[in-house]
């Protein structure tokens, strides 16, 4: 570890840069930059942060971050093994969450069905009353005229009721999301999607932020996003977003914006069904 840190430190000194300047470029706190130069990864919150910080540090010096991380991959092996025991626990938690989500979705569909039936029943009742009121003042109408009036009335009521039923469905059935846990380094959300999957958009209205993104257990993106950049991910079960500088980030789930994290240090956001 010392070898990698000394290499980066020497490159920084050659370019005449201070740790404060590197912090301004990468948005990585000085304590983590100094830990990298000292070869001390013990204060890093997770393996992926150590890799990401080293990559961003190297790129700030004009080096190939991916190549450098690949060259010193063996330095991260021990920490990677330490994170493996958590996989089984996370898998069990996701399974329980999925069962609860399925029950909640079934209940929601039943409520919507009952609501729509109620609206149709009320519309029919209202229609019958209106027909009776309309026929009372014209007792001299023959059967044919009454039938024509009834058909015209039915068409009018159908045109009035159908959009109302559609609007109720559109307003009731949509993706919902709620916060279930929060610490200084991790925030957890539970989402009940409208369809089979949901879309998560990550954008950077601020300056810069480094990310590592896992979708359904697979790493799909790692890198530095700059101002006005954005990425959209299609998620079936879960997405984990590791952010180096959260205040610069905006996250939406099926168009619903999550609260901005104001902590100026690495934070993990986990969203699951």
- pLDDT tens-digit readout, 212-241: 999 999 999 998 999 999 999 999 999 999
Task: Give the span between the Cα atoms of 272 and 240, in whole angstroms.
Answer: 9
From residue 160, alpha-carbon distances to 128, 133, 163, 171 in Å are 15, 18, 7, 18
Task: Give the span between the Cα atoms of 110 and 207, in whole angstroms.
Answer: 46
Beta-sheet pairing, 250-253 with 198-203: antiparallel
The order of strands in the sheet holding 238-243 is 176-182, 186-192, 267-272, 238-243, 208-215, 218-226
What's the confidence (pLDDT) of residue 50?
80
Q: What is the mean pLDDT of residues 245-261?
A: 94
Where are any strands of DSSP class E within 193-236?
A: 198-203, 208-215, 218-226, 230-235
* DSSP-assigned beta bridge partners for residue 188: 181, 270
Over the stretch 123-176, which tens digit does the pLDDT of each residue have? 877 778 776 666 545 445 445 554 555 555 555 555 555 555 445 444 557 899
Task: Give the span between the Cα atoms of 198 and 92, in whole angstroms.
Answer: 22
Give the residue with greater pLDDT, 266 vs 94: 266
How does DSSP classify residue 75?
A: G
């Amino acid at each position: 570890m010392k070898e990698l840190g000394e290499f980066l430190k020497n490159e920084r000194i050659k370019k005449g840069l201070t740790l404060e300047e590197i912090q301004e470029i990468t948005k990585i706190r000085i304590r983590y930059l100094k830990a990298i130069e000292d070869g001390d990864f013990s204060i890093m919150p997770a393996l992926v942060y150590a890799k990401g910080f080293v990559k961003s540090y190297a790129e700030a010096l004009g080096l190939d971050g991916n190549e450098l991380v690949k060259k010193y991959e063996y330095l991260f092996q021990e920490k990677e093994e330490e994170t493996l025991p958590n996989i089984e626990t996370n898998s069990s938690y996701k399974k329980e969450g999925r069962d609860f989500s399925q029950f909640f979705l079934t209940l929601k569909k039943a409520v919507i069905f009952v609501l729509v039936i109620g609206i149709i029943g009320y519309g029919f009742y209202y229609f019958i009353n209106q027909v009776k009121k309309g026929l009372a003042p014209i007792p001299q109408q023959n059967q044919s005229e009454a039938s024509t009036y009834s058909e015209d009335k039915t068409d009018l009521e159908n045109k009035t009721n159908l959009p109302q039923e559609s609007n109720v469905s559109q307003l009731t059935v949509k993706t919902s999301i709620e916060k279930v846990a929060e610490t200084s380094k991790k925030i957890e959300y539970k989402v009940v999607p409208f369809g089979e999957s949901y879309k998560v958009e990550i954008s950077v209205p601020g300056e810069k932020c480094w990310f590592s993104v896992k979708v359904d257990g697979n790493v799909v993106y790692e890198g530095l996003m700059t101002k006005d950049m954005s990425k959209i991910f299609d998620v079936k079960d879960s997405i984990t977003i590791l952010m180096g500088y959260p205040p610069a980030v905006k996250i939406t789930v099926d168009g619903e914006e999550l609260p901005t994290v104001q902590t100026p240090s690495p934070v993990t956001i986990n969203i699951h069904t």
